[in-house]
Structure 1
Amino acid sequence: MMEALATAAVVLLIVTFGPFAVRDSGLFAVALLGIPLAAGAISLLATRRSTLPRAALVTGLASTLALAWSVVTIVGLGLYLLPPALLLVTSAVILTVAAIEARRTPRATTTVA
């Protein structure tokens, strides 16, 4: 759920700041706004299509990329990219805890007497 919210936030930023970024940065605007969009989309796809531990790993890596990119571009639009990155970090933490709890809980076994 948070991955979808983070991806939607990046799409909103692209719609809002895309023309300004293209005017200011030219072709670099594709990387400036495309990297956080790709991180959110990959995380969203991983949580929808893969197992819980794999989704936690992919979301963790995507959130690290989005957070690092936000810090690298903090002078420009990076400050606006920080909330979606933090949403991905929160999602990665929640998925990791869920994956650990899923491994920790014993599966029900049936015995025939």
Structure 2
Amino acid sequence: MGKRAPKPVGRSAAEARRGRRRDPEYRATQERLAPFEGIARFVIMRRAELGFTQEQLAERMGTSHSAISRIETGQHRTSVATLERLAHALDVRFVMGFETGPREAPVRELVSL
């Protein structure tokens, strides 16, 4: 008879993901960062459309490559002032908004900055 394969130490990646999803602190962090992940996706797509490297975008913004990298991870808060500079560097308008009413049918008021 052959030897049994050793069992892995710890949990599988799938088990770890399931555990994190059930963790209220993890879920709260994910909810808090969701808007920044959306910003990150937009910045990456727009930068690619324009054919800019992170370094080129940083130069247009007057910031560092590492600052662009942090924005594009979606894991860091980005100030309104930085978002305004980012919009200018990406040749887009920066729009902020407010919502009232129920989440299912919000009424939005947008302001272009």
TM-score by length of 2: 0.28
Q: Could you say which structure has the greater relative contact order, defined with CA pairs below 8 angstroms and 6 or more residues apart? A: 1
Instruction: Determine which structure has more spread, i.e. the larger CA radius of gyration.
Output: 2
TM-score by length of 1: 0.28
Larger % of strand: which? 2
